[in-house]
Amino acid sequence: MAAFRALVVHSQTEALGELVEVLAGPQLTVDTARSMTEALNRASQQDYAVVVADHRPPEMNGLELLERTQAYLPDALRILLAASPDAAGDLPHKPAGTIFRFFARPWERWQLQAVVAEGLKLHRLEREQRDLIQKLGREHEKLRKREKLLDVVVKERTREIEDAYLKLKAANRQALLGLAEAIEAKDAYTKGHCGRVAAFGMHLARACKYPEADMEALEFASFLHDIGKIGIRDAVLLKPAALDPEEWIHMRTHAVKGYEIASQIEMLKPTMSAIRNHHERWDGAGYPDGLKDTSIPLAARIVCIADAYDAMATDRPYKKALPSEECEQLLRKNAGKMFDPELVEIFINSGGTRLMEQVATDEAAAAEAAAAEAEAAEAEAAVERAVTIPAAAKV
């Protein structure tokens, strides 16, 4: 039996079938409804981890439906389907709770699979967190009543709790990094971009004495700075040439889209300023807010330089990678215009522009290790088949 259930609401039978085919799997059972009344009835009787609703006024008000499910399913991931950004861009008010405005034409519905998969990871983590909190509460009560127990027992219990917390923290980190991988999966040319930006950003942060307590949030912001590209049309995101003015306007919306996603996920709230403002310019000519010099958050200024350096130092569909010397020249040329001039000097003088070679070596080693692991798994499977087949034939 699947671990989770999803409710998909659409007024068209054919569309329901397509959505069920996209989402159903070993981990997810999908129920369907064709009206708001039927959907709310199901939501009141069944625990759903995901609710997907079509928004097609007047026959289907997906936003109202998703808001009303809050009463029955407060922890569910709610996704609003619309045929285009324009179809959902004029919604009358801010939705209650967490609602992803997922702009998907019918032939793009397969993208839901990645979004829902990452949402289920977060849902599972939240459930584990609640269970852990309840467990901690019970353990605390036991410890309170057993104050005279030997000190070694108390220490052992404390260690178990700390281990559980560290495991939960590691799982949360893995889920967030999975969001970044979902973005990169759409574009082979930028694969590894988020990880490299995080590496360059953390290097610069350490060099400029960024507060240690905020380093983890900055790392997440570096990994997820482009999360808003989930809402960018593939024709624009994957275009193998320079964008025209209209396409640039659409592409620039990813900063605000990313901010809106991060603002609705508690774990991502500390990263919001860097996600929203990493395309601001030191001279005030950037976007989306036109911030200038030190009014740009420090985290955003760091991610801006890390992002720009990776774009310079890697191959893209429209350009070849530049050597580190040219990257340094471009960074200094644009210091005081695009970039914080002090941070540019810190990045260069601390060896930031020579990190690409090490990052490339690490990526190659990781790829080699993954290939070796896959080869070993295949060899083990082949041995099992060789043993099993003769035994079956003998019977």
Residue at 40: amino acid letter: L
Of 173, 184, 277, the residue nearest 215 (C-alpha): 173
Domain range enclosing 144: 115-174
Contact between 34 and 16 (Cβ < 8 Å): yes
The answer to whether residue 391 is domain-embedded is no
Which residues are CB-contacts of 322 (< 8 A; sequence separation ≥ 6)?
A: 312, 313, 330
How many separate domains does the chain show? 3
Do 70 and 123 belong together in one domain? no
Do 341 and 305 belong together in one domain? yes
The pLDDT confidence band at residue 377, using thresholds 50, 70 and 90, is low
Do 45 and 143 belong together in one domain? no
pLDDT of residue 338: 96
Point out the least confidently predicted range of 39-48, 159-168, 240-249.
159-168
The answer to whether residue 54 is domain-embedded is yes
Half-sphere exposure of 235 (CA within 13 A, CB side): 5
The answer to whether residue 70 is domain-embedded is yes
Do 85 and 153 belong together in one domain? no
Please give the average per-residue pLDDT across 16-21, as a whole number: 88
Do 210 and 319 belong together in one domain? yes
Q: Which CATH number do you get for residue 45? A: 3.40.50.2300
Of 298, 299, 230, the residue nearest 265 (C-alpha): 230
pTM above 0.75, yes or no: no
Intra-chain end-to-end CA distance of the chain, in Å: 32
Point out the least confidently predicted range of 112-116, 117-121, 381-385.
381-385
Q: In what order do the strands lie in the sheet with 28-33?
A: 28-33, 4-9, 50-54, 77-82, 99-103
253-279 confidence digits (pLDDT tens): 999 999 998 888 777 788 899 999 999
The answer to whether residue 372 is domain-embedded is no
Do 201 and 349 belong together in one domain? yes
Do 124 and 80 belong together in one domain? no
The answer to whether residue 387 is domain-embedded is no
The answer to whether residue 364 is domain-embedded is no
Do 53 and 160 belong together in one domain? no
The answer to whether residue 164 is domain-embedded is yes
Of residues 166 and 117, more confidence is placed in 117
pLDDT of residue 46: 93
Do 226 and 325 belong together in one domain? yes
3-state secondary structure the chain: CCCEEEEEECCCHHHHHHHHHHHCECCEEEEEECCHHHHHHHHHHCCCCEEEEECECCCECHHHHHHHHHHCCCCCEEEEEECCHHHHHCCCCCCCCCEEEEECCHHHHHHHHHHHHHHHHHHHHHHHHHHHHHHHHHHHHHHHHCCCCCHHHHHHHHHHHHHHHHHHHHHHHHHHHHHHHHHHCCCHHHCCHHHHHHHHHHHHHHHCCCCHHHHHHHHHHHHCCCHHHHHCCHHHHCCCCCCCHHHHHHHCCHHHHHHHHHHCCHHHHHHHHHHHHCCCCCCCCCCCCCCCHHHCCHHHHHHHHHHHHHHHHCCECCECCCCHHHHHHHHHHHECCCECHHHHHHHHHCCHHHHHHHHHHHHHHHHHHHHHHHHHHHHHHHHHHHHHHHHHHHC
Do 222 and 355 belong together in one domain? yes
Domain limit, last residue, from 61, 84, 110? 110
50-54/77-82 β-pairing: parallel
Do 197 and 314 belong together in one domain? yes
